[in-house]
Each structure stands twice: as C-alpha cells, then as structure tokens.
Amino acid sequence: MHRWPSQLQAEIPMKLIHLDSSALGAHSVSRELTAAIVEDYRRVHPGLQVQYHDLVAEPLPHWTPVADADHPTVARGGELLEEFLAADVVVIGAPMYNFGIPSQLKAWIDRVAVAGKTFRYGENGPEGLAGGKKLVIASSRGGVYSAGSAGAAMDFQETYLRGVFGFLGITDIEVVRAEGVNMSAEHKQKAIAAARASIAGEQRKAA
C-alpha cells in the first residue's frame, strides 16, 4: 500500500496530490499553473505533504480488466486509489487537447473512479463516496471555450472533469483557467497573468 511521507508535526498534516498531464514540458502553461497553486498551498500550510505524478514522464497503461489481484497494473491502481482517498486536496494540470483532456490524465481517472470505492449505485441512483476533498483544476486552452463564448459547445475538457469528479462526490471544485494561449503572444501573457492573479487571490484551505 502506498504511504505518504513521514511527518514530524503532531497534528495531522494536509495531504495534496499534484498531477501534471501536459506533453509540452517546460513550455506548458498548465504545468506552470499547477506549480504556482501547489506553492501557494505550501505557503499557507507549512506541513503540507505532496505526492507528485508526472503522467507524461511516467504514463499509466490504459485501463483493461485484469482478474489477477497480484498483477502489477492492479497493484499500482490500488496504490493510486488509496492515495486519492486519503488526499485532502487534488491539483490537476489539465490542458485541452482536441476539446478534451490528455489520454494520460484519463488513464489516471480510470484508476480512481472505482465502483464500491469512490462511487456506488443505490436505490436512488449513483452516489459519490469521495467527497470532502478540494479539487483545483489548472486549465489551459489554445482558444476560448468558456461559458458564453462561441466555442463553449466544444468544451469537453472542464465539463468532463467537473462531471466525473462531481459523480465521485467532490463538490468543492476550483478552476484556474488560462484561455486563448495560442491566439497571440500578448493574449497568452495576459491569460497567464490573470490565472496567476486568481491563484494568489484564493483562500487556500482543505475542503
């Protein structure tokens, strides 16, 4: 089972998962934003425990049904699930790729969206079991797809993330968004500046 780093403080520390899924490396806007978000949490919570996953550098295989409980893929999925359940905050770097999310991020979501663990079906329909967490999505987009824009109908990125994590019971969702980063250098600079300003202005807390 995955274990968080040891903590010397007596109080229970806040636990944060930091995920990056952009393939652009040092040129990635979403990676820049997740780093700023996590640093902001570290400033507010000095004892913060962070688990970082670069889903591009260490990609997960796409989900397939495996019956063998000792199979390495099953074991890894169990570790990620337990880590997710124990987390207070999840920070996800999610660039928009072809109107959706990177497949690397989808592979991670498939490891934590598990019937009987993070959701269940009851008499009144589906019920999320992973509530009580804060989710922060660092969203980067080459064009403009926010509500009210001409491209809003093509947003299958933020709408999917809100939908799937809401299905798991997470209702405290913050989106830090940089839009139109491929429209021009000036637009990119302004979009990143606005996103970073929103990070600095947010009260960082656990859900």
Specify binding-site residues for FMN. Answer: 22, 28-30, 96-99, 140-143
Instruction: List, as residue ranges, the binding site.
Output: 22, 28-30, 96-99, 140-143
| 3-state SS string for the chain | CCCCCCCCCCCCCCEEEEEECCCCHHHCHHHHHHHHHHHHHHHHCCCCEEEEEECCCCCCCCCCCCCCCCCHHHHHHHHHHHHHHHCCEEEEEEECECCECCHHHHHHHHHHCCECCCEEEECCEEEECCCCCEEEEEEECCCCCCCCCCCHHHCCCHHHHHHHHHHCCCCEEEEEEECCCCCCHHHHHHHHHHHHHHHHHCCCCCC
